[in-house]
Amino acid sequence: MRNRRKKWLQDEKDTLIPSLIIVTVLCVASLTAPRFMPASQQEVEPDIRQMAEAGADWVQETDF
């Protein structure tokens, strides 16, 4: 019985330590990763306008 308990504890240690290392690395990586910051609406609209104007110019220049 005592020997079985020792074996169980050793098995738990063998799996617990790598699991803790993996969890720690993932937590640190998620905390230090740069966050995705969406652009404000004013920054996006001129790009859309420029693309629309470029598309309109292309349509006018192209013979279908």
Burial of 2 (0-12, 13-18, 19+ CB in 10 A): exposed
CA distances from 30 to 23, 34, 35 (A): 11, 9, 9
What pLDDT score was predicted for residue 59? Answer: 72
Q: How far is CA 55 from the centre of its chain?
A: 33
pLDDT band at 11 (very low <50, low <70, confident <90, very high): confident
The tens digit of pLDDT for each residue in 17-56 reads 888 999 999 888 888 776 655 555 555 556 677 777 887 7
Which residue type is seen at 17?
I
